[in-house]
A and B are shown apart, each in its own frame.
Chain A
Amino acid sequence: MSEQNTAVETAEATPRGPTRRATPPVDVFENDEGFLIVADLPGVSPEALEVEFEPPELRVSGRAPGPDGDEVVYERRFELGASLDASSISAELTNGVLRIEIKKSAALRPRRIDVRAA
């Protein structure tokens, strides 16, 4: 929020173990076709990321190297409704940001019905 901050913040003051758990922030967007989930996972490489779907749960977990040789484990879980098309789930990781797309089942997507003149 503040644009100017001169305070020094070295790692964390609390004693740290070899791993630290973190809940990544997410954005969720919706359109007629489906949902887009965006999560910040700084430091997570594609090899260290897992996106798993075990109905009805979508689980995202990623490991990232932290300061002083520690490891950060990010985890977030979502429950997907039956109205979503699980086979359509796709994921992409760029610059530490994960984007997951999930389409709605065809029956739920709005359809345009052309009206023809008789």
Chain B
Amino acid sequence: MLTHWNDFGSLGFHRRRSPGLAFDVFDGLRRDMERLFAAYGRAETTPFRPRFSLEDTGEALVVRAEVPGLEQKDLELSLEADTVTLKGERKEVVPEGYTPRRRECLSYRFTRTLPLPTKVDVEKAEAVLAHGVLTLTLPKVKEAQPRRIPVRTGSSEQ
């Protein structure tokens, strides 16, 4: 099968002749490597898992999860005072009438439980899903927020 495009982004070099062949070789290699990693049971080596980050802004904890292609209905979020659990699933779909030539955006299903470093106010938590990124803003409970301690000058003068 003749393919009409080439991709130097991932091949790393410019190949004018028979790009179709190059893809077959690289796709085969990629599949082999995925099998190898799966065999080691090292899920963390697969790039298809959603990325998470946790940030402390002082008043709140901000959790970001990259979930491209997911809609609200594909995500399930549960929140406790000191943990947040996110579940999601993306099904692998080949558009109708098309033949896959390269697959990198694989489907995924995940459950992540993040222990939170401080207690948060569950009632005031906010979740926003925009452009394939879920952002959770979790305001800390009062006791966990930074406090300013006034420093008074001591009476060093006699």
Contacts and interface: CB of A to CB of B under 8 A. Distances in A.
| Interface of B (DSSP majority class) | mixed
Contacts of B101: 28-30, 35
A39 interface: yes
B112 A5 contact: yes
Contacts of A43: 66, 131-133
B6 A96 contact: no
Interface in B89-120: 94-95, 97-106, 108-115
Interface centre among B6, B97, B103, B131 (most CB of A within 10 A): B131
A3 B94 CA distance: 22
Interface in A30-84: 30-31, 35-36, 38-45, 64, 66-68, 75-81, 83-84
A87 interface: no
Chain A, interface residues (CB within 8 Å), range: 35 or more
Interface string A1-42: 111111111110000000000010111111100011011111
Interface residues of B, number: 53
Contact of B131 (A25, A30, A96): A96
20 contacts: A1-B38, A3-B111, A4-B111, A5-B49, A6-B113, A9-B52, A11-B55, A25-B48, A27-B105, A29-B94, A29-B95, A42-B51, A66-B53, A75-B9, A78-B5, A78-B9, A95-B69, A95-B132, A96-B68, A96-B133
Given A28-B100, A76-B9, 19 more contacts: A1-B38, A1-B43, A4-B111, A5-B49, A5-B110, A8-B54, A9-B52, A10-B52, A10-B53, A11-B54, A26-B102, A27-B104, A28-B102, A36-B98, A40-B68, A43-B133, A78-B9, A83-B4, A97-B105
